Amino acid sequence: MDLSKITEIFTESVIREMTRIAHQYPGCINLAQGFPDFPAPEPIKDAAIKAIKEDINQYSITWGSESLRNAIADKVARYNKMDFVEADKNITVTCGSTEAMISSMKAIINPKDEVIIFEPFYENYGPDCLLSGAIPRYIKLYSPEWTFDFDELEVSFNEKTKAIILNTPNNPTGKVFTEKELKFIVDLCLNYDCIAMTDEIYEHILYDDHKHISIASFPEMENNSITINSISKSYSLTGWRVGWAIASERITAEIKKVHDFLTVGAPAPLQEAAAFALSLGDEYYTRLRDFYQKARDKLYNALKNTDLQPIKPGGAYYMMTNCEEYMKNYELKNSMDLAIHLVKRLGIVTVPGSSFYANPEDGQFQTRFCFCKKDETLQAASQKLVKIRS
């Protein structure tokens, strides 16, 4: 019996597989999948408990509780300068940004439409394209600045281009797209009437003087953008699975239908707590940023004296490393060999670079560390890295 010809083409997520591998090596430090190892903020947890005790335990409105949609509309007007967003017209609350992305793709793609993806990319985008029938086209981000070639991007647009997926701040590179780059993408989207799908889940995790800009804040992009986000990273709540997609009323109407039949709705009490989280003041985000800035610097300093050469991220909480020297010394053939070697030799779990590229060879000398961890976890990792100082 044939099973799906589409699901046959892709594998399970390597990022999540690395967490399962971590469980097989007691005592190892999991710097693979991006989730915090410290508690979520107490007041947000209290808000969830309160919602459950108040019996907000049945389905919410399919496309999101009124309080959460109002909170999202307020926050994006305030932080993202997205003034057009109305709670009733432009928002679909989903089970995490993962669902927001696949529901959005299903809502806009026709078979053989092309979708442009910056590479390296968060691995979900590949299967998202396949599952929605799109043909992905990859545009390289060149290290160490992770810039793209404007001409290469321009020639990849054509009449079949339906969307471009943008993730800023970026996973796995930490690149924060600049205003000039975004403006260039805006013009291409408008010329070819295609949609910028922007995953902004790391919008509050920024270093040095990097600034986050939402492509939907360009007024001309109101009808050509889908902005995806969630509470996972900003509030350290990756397991709650509350996210959303923001788009024009016309696009939102389609996303809502896909979302309804895929998942019906995100967890009702957690949506109430999410609404509370979104109302937190600026000091919360300043503290979050300071915390991650220290974590980034700590991991960077630990890696820079080794042959796992780190590239400093401008945002998000991952660090890509170039490991060619190290791999030569140990005769490691590819990035999965390297990751397994690092688990066995150091007790540190990372994500093989190949999982962020369409052609695995392009990432064969890289591995990704995440640093959304307690200071003591990063301290312990730093001590392990001393063993491989070059």
Measured CA to CA, the distance from residue 165 to residue 136 in angstroms comes to 10
Q: Tell me which of 122, 177, 207, 369 binds ligand GLN, using CB under 6 A.
A: 122
Residues in contact with ligand GLN, total (CB under 6 A)?
A: 7
355 is a site residue for ligand GLN (CB under 6 A): no
Q: Is the CB of 38 or the CB of 59 nearer to ligand GLN?
A: 38
Q: Tell me which of 14, 15, 100, 299 binds ligand GLN, using CB under 6 A.
A: 15
- Picking from 33, 45, 5, the residue whose alpha carbon sits closest to that of residue 349 is 33
Using omega within 30 degrees of 0 as the cis cutoff, is the peptide bond preceding 269 cis?
A: no
Q: Is the CB of 203 or the CB of 307 nearer to ligand GLN?
A: 203
309 is a site residue for ligand GLN (CB under 6 A): no
Q: Is the CB of 143 or the CB of 156 nearer to ligand GLN?
A: 143
Q: Tell me which of 28, 29, 31, 34 binds ligand GLN, using CB under 6 A.
A: 34
- Give min distance, CB of 34 to ligand GLN, in A: 3
Q: Tell me which of 6, 11, 16, 286 binds ligand GLN, using CB under 6 A.
A: 16
Measured CA to CA, the distance from residue 366 to residue 313 in angstroms comes to 15
Q: Is the CB of 51 or the CB of 201 nearer to ligand GLN?
A: 201
Measured CA to CA, the distance from residue 388 to residue 368 in angstroms comes to 17
- Picking from 380, 388, 348, the residue whose alpha carbon sits closest to that of residue 367 is 348
What is the bridge-based pairing of β-strands 195-199 and 225-230? parallel
Residue window 204-233: x/- pattern of binding to ligand GLN, with contact defined by CB under 6 A: ------------------------------
Please list every residue from 76 through 115 that binds ligand GLN, using CB under 6 A: 98
Burial (CB count within 10 angstroms: exposed 0-12, middle 13-18, buried 19+), residue 360: middle
Strands (E) across 191-337 are located at 195-199, 225-230, 243-247, 309-311, 318-322
* SS3 (DSSP) at 269: helix
Residue window 358-387: x/- pattern of binding to ligand GLN, with contact defined by CB under 6 A: ------------------------------
Q: Tell me which of 70, 103, 171, 321 binds ligand GLN, using CB under 6 A.
A: 171
Q: Is the CB of 207 or the CB of 371 nearer to ligand GLN?
A: 371
Q: Is the CB of 15 or the CB of 246 nearer to ligand GLN?
A: 15
Largest CA distance in the chain: 60
What is the bridge-based pairing of β-strands 351-352 and 135-140? unpaired
248 is a site residue for ligand GLN (CB under 6 A): no
- Give min distance, CB of 257 to ligand GLN, in A: 24
Q: Is the CB of 98 or the CB of 354 nearer to ligand GLN?
A: 98
From residue 114, give the alpha-carbon distance in Å to each of 9, 107, 233: 18, 14, 29
- Give min distance, CB of 243 to ligand GLN, in A: 10
Q: Is the CB of 69 or the CB of 241 nearer to ligand GLN?
A: 241
CB-closest chain residue to ligand GLN: 34
Helix axes 66-78, 268-278, angle to 10 degrees: 30
Burial (CB count within 10 angstroms: exposed 0-12, middle 13-18, buried 19+), residue 26: exposed
Residue 19 pairs in a beta bridge with none
- Picking from 32, 185, 207, 218, the residue whose alpha carbon sits closest to that of residue 116 is 185
- Give min distance, CB of 351 to ligand GLN, in A: 7
- Give min distance, CB of 366 to ligand GLN, in A: 14
Measured CA to CA, the distance from residue 71 to residue 74 in angstroms comes to 5
33 is a site residue for ligand GLN (CB under 6 A): yes
Task: Give residues in contact with ligand GLN (CB under 6 A).
Answer: 15-16, 33-34, 98, 122, 171
